Amino acid sequence: MIKGIVCSTLIFLPSFVSAQGLLEVGTAYYQHDNIYDADAFTLEAQLHYEKNWQLADNTTLLFKPRLGFDKGNLYSVNATLHEKNRRRSKFTVEELTLTHYMNNFELSVGKQVFSWGLGDMYNPSDHVNPVDTLDPIDNQKLGQWSASLLYLGASSNLNLIYIPRRSASRLPEQNNRWFRSLQVVQTAAAAQLGFVPSIDLSRQIHHHRSTIGAQITSGQWLSGWDVELSYLHSQDATGVYLPELVGSQLDLVRVFPRYNEVSVGLSTALGAYTFHGITTYRKTKDHQKDDDYLTFLVGARRTFYVPNFSNTIEIVEEVTLAMEYVKEKISRHRDPTSAYVNSGFGRTLTNSLLMNLELKFSEDTLLKFGLIQNFDLQDSYVSTAFSHQLSDDFKVSVALDVLNGTSDSLFGQWTNNDRLFLSSSYNF
Amino acid sequence: MFNKSFLSFVCLFLFLFVVCIPAHAQADLKLSGLELMQQYQSLHEVDSEYTRSSMTLVNQKGRKRIRAMQTYEKKSENGENRSLLKFLSPKKIFNVGLLTWTHNGEADDDQWLYLPASKRVKRIASAGKKNPFMGSDLSFEDMQGEDLQAHTYKLLGEETIDGQTCWKIEAKPATQKQARSSAYGKRIIWLRKDITYPVKMEYFNRRDALMKQASYEDLVHIKVAIKEAVGGATDGAVWRHNKSVMSTLKKKKFTVIIIEKREIGLTIDENQFNQQVLKRPPVDKP
């Protein structure tokens, strides 16, 4: 008997137990001293595991835990997945999802991670999950306890998401080398107060509010185009700061404005290129707290298979170039009398170019070059990574991250965090 | 000169010769390259099919890489094909998927690739279909079915391959668009005459140089459980190959695909061939 039959129709569901794991071990060397973290070397290991069980003919359970370790202060036994924790927990269940498949519907309940948007590198509509920015260069989505209903049409889909209590994104705190300097806020307050206040970030307005999301995707409304429409009613996961003077201390209270966000994305292929464009409009409920703004993104990608172009170049097999440009346009500014200030971790790409260049020397060897250039404050992040697959399961990589810019810019504040990586990963 | 009974005998002989001549021999005399390809499709095309296979990549140094994959294919209501391919192993590419909607004629085919690490489905450019698929000797366009409207077919003659007489057919892109999106200036297809099934194919680049060569081996005659599922098979059975070898001649590397499991005539809804389903972990058929 074929498993997964409903009304004699086959449904593509995971009808067997599948399990795989990934062990990553890496060390990073930071060339410069950092006032928040004196360790020049870090040693980090992560063990990812994923297992899918079939509980009944049309029901599966996905279990995706992660075990983390480091020699520094990134992981802790006691930490819980809370936005105020300075560390990640050593053991985390990243996803735990029970899914029931029907012919036209798929209902999933549990801790889930969603990916929205048609972008290659950046997706301005991909806000369903908050992120862990304890290392903002390597941020990870945080799974959310949620329910998701997916309707499958022949060429169009509708996905409804409900998150009863969404958590906030985790920002690096003062013991972390990626802590964002609040000097700008401090200086502004000093000018007003006549003295330089100390800053306390420990206060935070409770975040856990519900999120509702709807996403429609289609591959056939327009022939040759992918279309994605989405709506999100949520609470900003990064938040803004409300400065409150308590004696000589400035408490920066992190608050999370509620907003409605709509997005339209289009993607197509033309000749050798794929193109995509996304427009997202966010309307914040309280103009004291934040702006209303539009984000535009346009991007293109092309893969050059070198033997199709040249008979002489033999060292490189394949070159993939992806580029995106992002621009933010504020349609309604935050109330000028508002005391709220941005935390600096949300809305980081406001006039920016993103580029990703991959040179594939063989099926085993890859060189990646990445760039984010912010034009407004002239800051940039450049990454270069070389990886080699020693076997199907074992890979070694070396990478270099370089951050540039002035101290008041996003990447410029972290110029001391240039780093060299060595890492290895094993799939099992 | 000849008496009437002799002439009657000759006429009867000629009549019987024409009537009783084997069907393929008649086709031999009359059918064009396109008609032979149409005959091949109508005889062996099915409405839906599942295969589970191993793909062995062998490089110039003889190093082997083995991948396991499964494919579901379905002919949609308008006669176009949809297929969904998933990798089962090795672990690093588990659940990588390729969804293809093949359109007839001028329209570009739609193809999407799913990479589980990013949880995103990416559309593939039509010209990118010339590129190798997952490091193999097959390109994305080799993974698509034969589009008879997008090519012209010319019968070049007959040749014997492994003791079997074959029609030798030249296939060329029919339109500028097809020519631009394909890596091949032409292909030569050898169809076995007795079963109208391909056993060999050669791929030439636009400069008419031979690039790749494919052979289709271990042919099997499969009875189809649900006769209605068979497009044009008159005897409820179709031919398939259980082994194919694709060689890239210049690089001296090749890819061997062995079919380990196959099922024909599945009832699958069209909605199982869309981008959201592409994200699901692979199905294992019993």
Prediction ipTM score: 0.84
**pLDDT greater than 70 at residue A47:** yes
Q: What percent of chain A has pLDDT over 90?
A: 47
Q: Is B266 on the interface with A (CB under 8 A)?
A: yes
Structure tokens at B157: 């003659």
Name the minimum distance, in Å, from the CA of A341 to any CA of chain B: 32
Integer Cα distance of A208 and A173 in angstroms: 20
Q: For residue range B47-96, what is the model confidence (pLDDT) as tens digits?
A: 889 999 999 999 888 889 999 999 999 987 777 888 999 998 888 888 89
- Out of A1-15, A17-31, A366-380, B41-55, which region has the weakest mean confidence (pLDDT)? A1-15
Check CB contact under 8 Å for B128 and A52: no
**β-pairing, A91-101 with A105-112?**
antiparallel
State the pLDDT confidence band at A76, using cuts at 50, 70 and 90.
confident
Rounded to 5 degrees, φ, ψ at A183 are -60, -35
Its pTM surpasses 0.90: no
Closest CA to A126 of A111, A112, A141, A139: A141
What's residue A248's pLDDT?
A: 78
- Nearest Cα of chain A lies from the Cα of B77 at a distance, in angstroms, of 11
Sign of CA dihedral B249, B254, B260, B265: negative
Q: Is B91 on the interface with A (CB under 8 A)?
A: yes
Residue B240 distance to chain A (closest CA, Å) = 22
Of A4, A12, A274, the CB nearest to B123: A274
pLDDT at B170 exceeding the cut of 50: yes
Nearest to B90 among A106, A153, A427 (CB): A427
Whether residues B274 and A15 touch (CB distance < 8 A) is answered with no
CA distance to partner chain A, nearest, from residue B168 (Å): 27
Residue B101 to residue B274: CA distance in whole angstroms: 9
The pLDDT, as a whole number, for residue A67 is 92
Q: How confident is the model at residue B3 (pLDDT cuts 50, 70, 90)?
A: low
Q: Domain coordinates of chain B in residue numbers?
A: 31-278
Distance from CA of A16 to the nearest CA of B (A): 6
A312 has pLDDT over 70: no
Specify the amino acid at residue B65.
Answer: R
Instruction: Please name the member of B91, B130, B283 whose beta carbon is closest to the beta carbon of A15.
Output: B283
Q: Using alpha carbons, select from B121, B58, B59, B117 the residue that is nearest to residue B91.
A: B117
Q: Which residues of B touch A20 (CB under 8 A)?
A: 91, 94
Q: What percent of chain B has pLDDT over 90?
A: 39
B125–A393 C-beta distance less than 8 A: no
- The answer to whether B63 faces chain A, any CB pair under 8 Å, is no
Residue B27 banded pLDDT, cuts 50, 70, 90: very low
Structure tokens at A282: 């966010």
Q: What average pLDDT score do residues A250-279 get? A: 91
pLDDT in tens, B228-267: 444 455 567 899 999 999 999 888 899 999 999 998 888 8
Mean pLDDT, residues B127-140: 81
CATH of domain B31-278: 2.50.20.10
Contact status of B275 with chain A (Cβ, < 8 Å)? yes
Please identify which residue in the block is written with the tokens 């005391």. A339
B272 φ, ψ to 5°? -80, -5
Give the contacts of B144 (CB within 8 A, at least 6 positions apart): B81, B100, B102, B109, B111, B129
B33 and A CB contact within 8 Å: no
Q: Is B271 in contact with A152 (Cβ distance < 8 A)?
A: yes
- Cβ of B280 within 8 Å of Cβ of A13? The answer is yes
Q: Which residue has the higher pLDDT, A347 or B23?
A: A347
**Three-state secondary structure call for residue A396:** strand
Contact check, Cβ <8 Å, A219/B101? yes
Residue in A386, A392, A400 with CA at minimum distance from that of residue A363: A392
**What's the confidence (pLDDT) of residue B225?**
62
More confident residue, A155 or A302: A302
Confidence of residue B23 (pLDDT cuts 50, 70, 90): very low
For residue B15, pLDDT over 60 is answered with no
CB < 8 Å to A310, chain B: none
Verify whether the Cβ–Cβ distance B275 to A104 is below 8 Å: no
CA distance B142 to A272: 17
Q: Which of A106, A223, A226 sits opposite B107 (nearest CB)?
A: A223
B124 interface with A at CB cutoff 8 Å: yes
For residue B230, the one-letter residue type is V
Beta strands in A236-291 (DSSP E): 240-246, 249-255, 258-270, 273-284
Name the residue of chain B whose CA is nearest to A23's CA.
Answer: B92
Q: Which residues of A touch B112 (CB under 8 A)?
A: 219
In this predicted structure, the answer to whether residue B22 has a pLDDT above a threshold of 60 is: no
Q: What is the pLDDT of residue B10?
A: 52
Does B285 score more than 70 pLDDT?
Answer: no
pLDDT in the model for residue A17: 59
Answer whether B265 touches A (CB < 8 Å): no
Strand ranges, E, within chain B = 48-58, 64-75, 81-89, 97-102, 110-115, 120-123, 151-161, 164-173, 186-192, 197-204, 210-223, 237-248, 253-264
pLDDT tens, residue by residue, A172-221:
877 788 887 777 777 777 777 777 777 777 777 777 789 999 999 987 77
Q: Is B47 exposed, middle or buried (0-12, 13-18, 19+ CB in 10 A)?
A: buried
pLDDT score at B118: 85
Q: How many residues does chain B have?
A: 286
Q: Which residues of B touch A104 (CB under 8 A)?
A: 269, 271
Q: Does B106 touch chain A (CB under 8 A)?
A: no
Nearest CB neighbour to A305, from listed B124, B132, B268: B132
Question: Cα–Cα distance between B18 and B26 in angstroms, integer?
Answer: 8
Kindly determine whether residue B128 and residue A269, on different chains, have CB atoms separated by under 8 Å: yes
B30–chain A Cβ distance below 8 A for any pair: no
Q: In terms of Cα–Cα distance, which of B248, B199, B231 is closest to B58?
A: B248
Question: What do you get for the CA distance between the two ends of chain B, in Å?
Answer: 73
The chain-wide mean pLDDT, for chain B, equals 82
Q: Considering chain A, what is the average pLDDT of its residues?
A: 86
Question: Binning pLDDT at 50, 70 and 90, where does residue A162 land?
Answer: very high
B276/A157 Cβ within 8 A = yes
Q: Which residues pair with B198 in a beta bridge?
A: B191
DSSP letter string, A211-238: EEEEEEEESSSSTTEEEEEEEEEEE-SS
Contact check, Cβ <8 Å, A153/B274: yes
Asked if B49 and B73 touch (Cβ cutoff 8 Å), the reply is yes
Specify the range with the lowest mean pLDDT, choosing from A190-199, A412-421, B33-42.
A190-199
Record: contact A153-B120, CB cut-off 8 A: no
